Amino acid sequence: MSLEGQLLDQKSLRAVTGKTADWNEIAKDCIAFANATGGRLLLGVEEGQDAPPAGQHIPADLPDTVRRKLAERTVNVTVLPDVVTAPNGGQYIELRVPRSLAVASTTDGRYFLRVADQSKPVTGDDVMRLASERSALPWETQTTLHVPRGEVDGGKSDKLLRALRASDRVKASVKEKSDDELLEHYQLAQGQSLTNLGVLCLGRQHHRAQLTTAPVIQFIKYDEHGQKVNKLVWDDHTQSPTELIEAVWLEVPDFRERYELPDGLYRQNVPAFDEIVVRELLVNALVHRPYTQRGDIFLNLHPDRLEVVNPGPLPLGVTPQNVLHTTVRRNEHLARLFHDLKLMEREGSGFDKIFEVLLSQGRPAPELIETHDRVQVTVRRRILKPEVIDFIAKADQTYQLTQRERIALGLLAQHDALTARELATTLELPSVEALQPWLKRLLDWHLVQSAGRTQATRYFVDPGLLRSLKFTGETTLKRIEPHRLAALVLEDLRRYPESAISDIHKRVGGEIHPKQVKRALEELIERGAVRFEGNYRWRRYWAVA
Confidence band for 466, pLDDT divided at 50, 70 and 90? low
Q: Where are the alpha helices (DSSP H) in 322-386?
A: 332-340, 350-360
Q: What is the pLDDT of residue 2?
A: 47
Q: Between 409 and 318, name the one with better pLDDT.
A: 409
* Cβ proximity of 323 and 268 under 8 Å: no
How do residues 56-77 score in pLDDT, each as one tens digit?
999 999 999 999 999 999 999 9
Section 468-477 average pLDDT: 55
| Widest Cα–Cα separation across the chain | 95
Can you give the pLDDT at residue 136? Answer: 52
Query: Which residues, in sequence order, are CB contacts of 77 under 8 Å at separation 6+?
Result: 27, 30, 31, 34, 70, 71, 97, 100, 104
| pLDDT score recorded for residue 472 | 43
Secondary structure of residue 345 in the 3-state scheme? coil
Q: Is the pLDDT of residue 244 over 90?
A: yes
425 touches 458 (CB < 8 A): no
Please measure the distance between the N-terminal and C-terminal CA atoms of the chain and give it in whole angstroms: 68
User: What whole-number distance in Å separates Cα of residue 489 and Cα of residue 507?
Assistant: 9
CA atoms within 13 A on the CB side of 460: 19
At residue 410, the pLDDT reads: 87
In whole angstroms, give the CA distance from residue 234 to residue 296: 10
Residue 185 pLDDT greater than 90, yes or no: yes
Query: How does 149-166 read in b/e, with b if 16+ C-beta sit within 10 Å?
Result: bebbbeebbeebbeebee
Q: What is the pLDDT of residue 473?
A: 45
Do the Cβ atoms of 51 and 71 come closer than 8 Å? Answer: no
Would you state the pLDDT for residue 112? 92
Q: What is this structure's pTM? A: 0.70
| Bridging pattern class, strands 39-43 and 8-11 | parallel
| Residue 241, number of CB atoms within 10 A of its CB | 22
pLDDT category of residue 463 using cuts at 50, 70 and 90: low
Helix axes 387-399, 350-360, angle to 10 degrees: 120
The DSSP annotation for 27-90 comes to HHHHHHHHHTT-EEEEETS-TT-SSPPTT----TTHHHHHHHHHHHHEES---EEEEEE-TTS-
Q: Which amino acid is at 470?
A: K
Q: Which residues pair with 541 in a beta bridge?
A: 499, 532
In this structure, of 36-45, 73-82, 220-229, 319-328, the range with the lowest mean pLDDT score is 319-328
**H/E stretch holding 262:** strand 258-263
Rounded Cα gap, residues 375 and 377, in angstroms: 7
Q: Return the pLDDT at 47.
A: 82
pLDDT at 348 over 70: no
Q: Which of 44-48, 98-102, 346-350, 388-392 has the lowest mean pLDDT?
A: 346-350
Query: Which pLDDT does position 515 carry in this prediction?
Result: 83
In angstroms, rounded to a whole number, what is the distance separating the alpha carbons of residues 48 and 30? 20
Q: How far apart are CA 254 and CA 83, in angstroms?
A: 59
Average pLDDT over residues 218-223: 94
Q: Which residues pair with 535 in a beta bridge?
A: none
Query: Is residue 461 over pLDDT 70?
Result: yes
92 has a pLDDT exceeding 90? yes
pLDDT class for 400, splitting at 50, 70, 90?
A: confident
Range of weakest confidence among 251-260, 316-325, 488-497: 316-325
Name the range with the highest mean pLDDT among 61-65, 400-404, 428-432. 61-65
What pLDDT does residue 289 have?
85
Count Cβ atoms within 10 A of the Cβ of residue 142 and give its class: 0-12 exposed, 13-18 middle, 19 or more buried: middle
Q: Is the pLDDT of residue 125 over 90?
A: no
In this model, does residue 219 exceed pLDDT 90? yes
pLDDT, average across residues 443-455: 81
**In the chain, pLDDT over 70 holds for what percent of residues?**
91
Beta-carbon contacts of 328 under 8 Å, excluding residues fewer than 6 positions away, are: 6, 36, 115, 315, 316, 317, 318, 348
Contact 6, 29 (CB under 8 A): no
- Looking at 62-66, 84-88, 352-356, which range is the least confident one? 352-356
Mean pLDDT of the 351-371 span: 85
pLDDT at 471 > cutoff 60: no
DSSP output for 198-240: HHHHH--HHHHHHTS-S--EEEEEE-TTS-EEEEEEE-S--S-
Phi-psi region for residue 122, left (φ > 0), alpha (ψ -120 to 50) or beta? beta
The per-residue pLDDT for 469 is: 61
State mean pLDDT over 217-246.
93
Q: Is pLDDT larger for residue 267 or for residue 167?
A: 167
> Is the pLDDT reported for residue 545 higher than 80?
no
Neighbours of 291 (CB within 10 A): 21
Q: Is the dihedral of CA 527, 530, 534, 535 positive or negative?
A: negative
Residue among 124, 38, 134, 117 at smallest CA distance from 77? 38
pLDDT at residue 49, as a whole number: 84
Mean pLDDT check: name the lowest of 125-129, 135-139, 443-447: 135-139
Do 440 and 410 form a contact (C-beta atoms < 8 A)?
no
What is the number of other CB atoms lying within 10 angstroms of the CB of residue 314? 18
Mean pLDDT of all residues in 522-534: 90
